[in-house]
Chain A
Amino acid sequence: MLAAIGVDSMDDLLVDIPSSLRIHELKLPDGLSELDTMAEINALAGKNRVFADRLTFRGGGVYRRFIPTAVAAVTGKPEFYSAYTPYQPEASQGTLQAIFEFQTLIAELTGLDVANASLYDGATAVAEASMMARVHTGRDEVLVAGYLHPEYLEVLRAFGEGRGMKVRRGEEPTAKTAALVFQQPDFLGLLVDARGLTEKAHAAGALAIACVDPISLAILAPPGEYGADIAVGEGQQLGLAPSYGGPHVGFIACRKELVRRLPGRLIGSSFDSAGRRGFVLTLTAREQHIRREKATSNICTNHSLCALAASVYMTYMGEAGLRQVAETSFQRAHALAERLAKLPGWELAFPERQFLNEFPVIVPKPGPVLRKLARKGILGGLEVGRWFRELRGVVTFTCTEVNDPAAINQLLEVLTS
């Protein structure tokens, strides 16, 4: 090949690199066989402790759920995972149609008009939605009601800072407020008055941004039903493994009036000259590769394959399956809450508030309790006082369809022993 190029050596191809910059070797160990590579990787994986799904009662934004085998069977197809952004639609109809279906599934679930192709995670989805509100209203302040996931709040602050967005916790929007952001259920698992908050936002001329748990929407009123302008959320529960926090998938949906402010990829239906239906990237005039510094966001690569996983999950479940999953989780969590509240010294932190499948409990000496559970192979609840000083001693427990009655009994047995 060198001869065909007309050079003598590899170095002749690297002549533009100043010699002072050339390095003689990369200071890394030499490569390994697959056998040795996997032995090393397995050894690292072996240094982690994995808690059984059924004995995991910790949530806080990442949940154990039953994942149908179909999900990995589809996302493991190299025709999906080894393709890229569908710039050539004729050769990318599989990806394009799958994303179009994802957009529809999310729009249906949230009760809003349009959803995009995906974002990185729930946290950046909140930040992107806030940016939309800021541009749409021309106002600088984003108000965060109640207990939004603390890491989402941090990401929102980091996003806003460069652009002079003022992020404040509170529930009273003013004429300076671009958006009122709330999470339903909130970080503690409690239901908030989504309808009331939405009305407050609108009364002040601000947008209402609802950060929602997608599975909860089988039971709970979706943002579209209470009039929220933008719905965002984390889609990990829709068929994605915890994977130490990622990759998961953020979603965003909105009313049609806001569609042109949406960040990232959007797929639309189209036709070829023979009248055959196909799908294309559309409204690209919002995007960085066309608009550069005037784009609605800088996002390019998003989380397409995770969106595919979520689509397979939602299609597998259907409305009835999703409702069953949500209902089983609801009832088990309520049964667990009742039993935990009877333990000596334990009580529900907000007994007057409703919840779905995650709830805060006041636990005497939570540290030793959680350590004791861990010794017995149980990943107990999450201490939320590390983020919220007023919640010291409060632990949120979560319960889903994977925590069977025997697992719940096991948890109670350890706690009472």
Chain B
Amino acid sequence: MSEPLSFELSRPGAEPPRLPAPGLSAAPSADVLPKEHLRVKPADLPRLSEAEIMRHYSRLASLNYSISEQFYPLGSCTMKYNPVANEAAAALPGFAGLHPYQDEETVQGALELMWRLERALCAVVGVDRVTLQPAAGAHGEWTALRMIQAYHHSRGDKRTEVLVPDSAHGTNPASAALSGFQVVEVRSGRDGRISLSDLESKLSPRVAALMLTNPNTLGLFEREILDVAEMVHATGAMLYYDGANLNAFMGVCRPGDMGFDAVHMNLHKTFTTPHGGGGPGAGPVGVKAELVPFLPHPTVEKADGHFKLDFRRPKSIGRVRSFYGNFGMLVRAYTYVLAMGGDGLTQASKDAVLSANYLRKQVDGVLEIPHHGPCMHEFVATAHNLASQGVRALDVAKGLLDRDFYAPTIYFPLVVPEAIMVEPTETESKATLDAFAEALKEIVQEAKTNPAALHEAPRNTPVGRLDEVGTARRITAYLTGQSEEPVLRWKRAGK
């Protein structure tokens, strides 16, 4: 099962779409513009009929696993169901048709939605204000670090380091580096939680912030979070919350109460806006009062029942993206918040924790689970015990694909060898969880009896394991001029 590229399907004879002619008397561009401005070689785009295009993309769609068809237990990504009402809400002409430079009086509903969503997010995470501007989680991390940096600078304090646990998401150190900080790693203790003694040894007046996710990437709640917060604050540093795992405790506890000064949230995880095959998401950032002056501008303010955009924020770090963020995702998230309410969000988190613990129990003994439970919304197992059969986490993942499950996150967090990180979310029924555990059992059995078969998995997918090393090698050949094949794009033969 494969589908040619649109470029390969292209037919020179395909009629271009019917589009309006100018209908007014004006000279064509070729007569008006100087030659040096004009394109010489036309772009080589495909030519297909609408019917062919629809068929092409329908076939491509059928090659994907997705939440709409499969269990998608991708740890740390919170792949829960995306309610279809969210999509209908964002498509309403009253939202989708708004130009970002319309006058405030004509976009009161949009501003009110943003204002209300901000209040709701404040309530969920326990902060004073939220910026909705960042487009994704990593963008939110960076935005928060820039605010923390600006806060320290405003006090004449030039701190240069950011502490990041060894179990953190890769975006944490990358965002810190992008803000110009030195990244210093803090080790996890044997119980999988941040080591207070290592933290203490790394804290100094050079440290601007500690970035922490809670529950951490092992799915474990950082029990000593209040001590961590006290230690960090005692040195004048700030505590940053990576909200990737917020789905674990909505309505149960709040990062703001734990002592976090800045908190990012992934609306595409916790608040059910779709992942889109890799975005668009939205990564709002909540902050406590002392960071409020540094929020990106504009903020949405309410005065006398009227909503307005506030650009007059002299200490603001400026803008982190154009306009007001991924507004369409904000509409989806707010639709979800309205439908769920405080009671529903709380139940969602509790169900997510219940699912994870139930599945953890089913998997325990099939695979090794290196840390003691209970877990929160996800857990990490290891395929370490299959090493003697020559079977790795990757093989287990591929075996799951063959059984019509998407694979968990593998080889992350880095602190667990052969890690298999499972996040079932509240979406899944007990029956699905049981079926998944059953599939894992089968795979482990296969690992013991016929490991060679597992190395050849997956077989039921449109393609088998792809030669990623070969791809990288062919790219190098192209980049160094040894090959004409660009590998990163299609190119017409002989051109």
Contact = CB atoms under 8 A, between A and B. Distances in A.
Interface string A151-162: 110110111011
B43 A272 contact: no
B221 A302 contact: no
A94 interface: yes
Contact of B374 (A12, A44, A242, A404): A12
Contact of B170 (A117, A292, A316, A327): A292
A190 to B, nearest CB: 11
Given A13-B353, A40-B338, A247-B326, A319 B468 contact: no
A401 B20 contact: yes
Given A41-B92, A121-B322, A308-B277, A74 B54 contact: yes
B466 A270 contact: yes
A238 to B, nearest CB: 12
B322 A245 contact: yes
A331 B26 contact: yes
A90 interface: yes
A304 interface: yes
A107 B385 CA distance: 46
Nearest to A354: B33
Interface in B381-409: 397-398, 401, 406-407, 409
A48 interface: yes
Given A151-B319, A222-B43, A28 B67 contact: no
B231 interface: no
A408 interface: yes
A151 to B, nearest CB: 4
B289 interface: no
B16 A321 contact: yes
B62 interface: yes
B320 interface: yes
Contacts of A189: none
Contact of A243 (B88, B220, B327, B343): B327
A154 to B, nearest CB: 4
B263 to A, nearest CB: 14
A64 B178 CA distance: 35
Interface stretch (B232-240, B250-258, B446-454): B250-258
Contacts, number: 669
B28 interface: yes
Interface string A198-216: 0000000000000000000
Contacts of B2: 93, 276-278
B156 interface: no
Nearest to A88: B407
A294 interface: yes
Contacts of A32: 338-339, 341
Contacts of A321: 16-17, 19
A91 B407 contact: yes
B252 A22 contact: yes
Interface in A22-58: 22-23, 25-34, 37-38, 40-51, 53, 56, 58
B258 A21 contact: yes
A349 interface: no
A269 B175 CA distance: 29
Contacts of B252: 14, 17, 22-23
B284 interface: no
19 contacts: A1-B355, A4-B362, A5-B357, A10-B350, A28-B123, A37-B339, A41-B331, A79-B62, A81-B276, A91-B458, A109-B43, A268-B474, A270-B466, A282-B472, A283-B472, A301-B136, A320-B16, A330-B26, A401-B19
